Amino acid sequence: MKEEKSYFPAHMLSWAFHPLLMPTYGLFLVFTFNVYFRFSIPPVLKWVTYLIVCISTFLLPSIAALGMVRSGIIKSLQMESREDRQAPFLVTAAFYIVCYYLLTQLHLPKMFLSMMLGACISVILALIINFWWKISIHTIGMGGLCGIVYALSQSLFVDMVMPFSFLVLLSGFVASARMFVGSHQPAQIYMGFILGFIAECISMGF
């Protein structure tokens, strides 16, 4: 019992910053830290954007994963093995692409489409890499968030040192949690972060 309790904070941190939540968190960051997007986009359009992103990148992939567990396609939601990750990654990539398409229909600023494109690229690359190697999708997501903030600060000339530093520190906690529970090796953690960061920076023009 004591051993299980010792893992609880690490598991909670992993679930709180689950990779499927990263697009929604990224959208929140843009609306929160950018004055132009906060006030120039109508509230209704903001909520529609939130709904599309949350449903397409979190809710539907989660339901699909639960269905795979119940049908025996994968062993558990933890997806500890590379084999268990393949089908969920493929389905998630499809939902992410659909989300990107739906966002293009809303006539949002290019920044939002670039963010989602970066997320799509990250998931597709994770799917491909997973055929040979178990890269950390948690740190891909955290690296993506850091990449979004960095790209925003560079493109909009906004001082975001504090948010960026906080996210890097938070990424360290998430990475430590993944290693603490034995899900990944350091190389898988580092490469995941680098992949997520670079994918967002490139898609957003940096």
Give the residue-averaged pLDDT of 183-205: 92
Calculate the average pLDDT of the chain. 88
* pLDDT the model gives residue 2: 40
The more confident residue out of 32 and 53 is: 53
Structural domain for 88, as ranges: 2-203
φ, ψ of residue 72 to 5 degrees: the values are 85, 10
CA–CA separation, 22 and 105 (whole Å): 22
* pLDDT the model gives residue 91: 95
Report the 10 Å Cβ neighbour count for 36. 11
Whether residue 51 has pLDDT greater than 80: yes
**CA-based radius of gyration for the chain:** 17
* pLDDT the model gives residue 4: 47
Is residue 111 within 8 A of residue 103, CB to CB? The reply is: no
The more confident residue out of 83 and 141 is: 141
Tally of domains in the chain: 1
The 10s digit of each residue's pLDDT in 144-158 is 999 999 998 888 777
* pLDDT the model gives residue 6: 63
